[in-house]
């Protein structure tokens, strides 16, 4: 089977997560002062936060319910975007190209959006996003990038069909029928996205990768001093080898710092591993998550 048959879309990277929060002011302060993102100029009604050379890695919007409003992926080229549009159209998902004014606002050459039919989650594909003139300057934590987004899936089978079989994300490791760690192929990072079986569909967590193991320990103490709930870790994930720390934002949504991650090459990289359904998959050090871990964050309508 050809790569195009297995992976019909070539992704450059996970671009952004759009979170709906109940107080834009409170959550902006938290993600800037406590998490360490940098605020950027943004359209009315949104807060753009960055941890890279791009204009935004997290977009905050305000609403009555906290949750995940959209997830964006930058594709490798404009030609790839056109192929992706045709592919998504053939799947029956009714994508809509962004108008030129919207593309200018979002700092992309072109893009289109469509909805996951099972959950209504807005998926945003785009190409040739501009780079900020000023570099990202780390503050309280040395954040390297937006790492990944993980979804809780009421129907794991539907989610697997959509993200893996239809959109061509590559499985790095999985617990069949329960968990899948997915590469935005051919991006080499062990996972930019993941699926986790759960009672309802929604956000499990959003991740920020840091540059040093000391960032994990320092963040743990900083969160404790600020009375930010730590809900899992520090520990080490078996699949990606990452050292992690999970904590809650002001709406109770889960965020993560992680250090280190396996990379899998586009060619001659290892195949997916099938893992046992046991707690050590999530933490080889033996800790267990707090009951609040990954519980808050519905799928909400997008305003992006």
Distance in angstroms (rounded) separating the CA atoms of residues 22 and 297: 11
**Mean pLDDT of the residues in the chain:** 96
Give residue 171's pLDDT band: very low, low, confident or very high (50, 70, 90): very high
pLDDT band at 304 (very low <50, low <70, confident <90, very high): confident
| Domains of the chain: residue spans and CATH | 3-127 (3.10.180.10), 143-299 (3.10.180.10)
- Chain centre distance of CA 54: 15
Positive or negative, the CA dihedral 135, 148, 77, 2 is positive
Averaged pLDDT, 184-206:
96
Residue 302 has pLDDT above 90, yes or no: no
Structure tokens at 279: 């707690």
Please answer whether residues 60 and 19 qualify as being in contact, where contact means their C-beta atoms are separated by less than 8 angstroms.
yes
Is the pLDDT at 183 greater than 60? The verdict is yes
Number of other CB atoms surrounding residue 134 within 10 Å: 9
Alpha helices in the chain (DSSP H): 3-6, 24-29, 78-90, 100-106, 156-160, 213-225
Looking at residues 61-66, what average pLDDT do you find?
A: 97
In this structure, what token pair is assigned to residue 250?
Answer: 């002001």
78-96 pLDDT, tens digit per residue, is 999 999 999 999 999 999 9
User: Is the pLDDT score of 126 beyond 70?
Assistant: yes
The pTM assigned to this predicted structure is: 0.96
Report the pLDDT value the prediction gives residue 67, as an integer from 0 to 100. Answer: 98
Predicted confidence (pLDDT) at residue 2 exceeds the cutoff of 90 = no
Of 94, 59, 26, 74, the closest CA to residue 250 belongs to: 26
Q: What was the pLDDT predicted at 280?
A: 87
Q: Give the pLDDT band (50/70/90) at residue 279.
A: confident
Helices H, strands E: what count in the chain?
A: 6, 18
Nearest residue to 11 (alpha-carbon basis) of 63, 74, 70:
74
218 pLDDT more than 80: yes
Rounded distance between C-alpha atoms, residue 160 and residue 162, angstroms: 5
Alpha carbon distance 223, 291 (integer Å): 18
């Amino acid at each position: 089977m050809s790569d195009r048959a297995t992976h019909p879309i070539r992704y450059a990277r996970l671009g952004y997560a759009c979170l709906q929060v109940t107080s834009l002011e409170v959550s902006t302060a938290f993600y800037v002062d406590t998490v360490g993102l940098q605020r950027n100029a943004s359209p009315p009604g949104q807060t753009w936060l960055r941890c890279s050379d791009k204009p935004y890695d997290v977009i905050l919007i305000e609403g009555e319910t906290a949750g995940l409003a959209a997830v964006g992926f930058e594709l490798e080229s404009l030609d790839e975007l056109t192929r992706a549009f045709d592919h998504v159209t053939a799947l029956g998902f009714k994508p809509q190209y962004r108008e030129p004014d919207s593309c200018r606002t979002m700092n992309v050459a072109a893009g289109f959006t469509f909805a996951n039919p099972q959950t209504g989650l807005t998926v945003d594909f785009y190409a040739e996003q501009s780079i900020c003139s000023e570099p990202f300057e780390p503050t309280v934590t040395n954040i390297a990038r937006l790492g990944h987004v993980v979804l809780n899936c009421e129907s794991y089978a539907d989610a697997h069909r959509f993200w893996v079989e239809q959109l061509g994300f590559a499985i790095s490791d999985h617990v069949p029928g329960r968990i899948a760690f997915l590469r935005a192929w051919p991006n080499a990072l062990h996972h930019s996205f993941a699926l986790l079986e759960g009672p309802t569909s929604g956000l499990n967590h959003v991740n920020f990768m840091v540059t040093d193991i000391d960032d994990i320990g320092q963040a743990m103490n900083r969160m404790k001093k600020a009375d930010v709930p730590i809900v899992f870790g520090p520990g080490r994930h078996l699949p990606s080898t990452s050292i992690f720390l999970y904590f809650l934002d002001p709406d109770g949504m889960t965020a993560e710092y992680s250090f280190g991650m396996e990379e899998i090459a586009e060619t001659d990289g290892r195949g997916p591993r099938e893992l046992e359904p046991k707690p050590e998959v999530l933490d080889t050090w033996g800790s267990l998550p707090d009951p609040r871990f990954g519980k808050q964050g519905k799928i909400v309508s997008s305003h992006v």
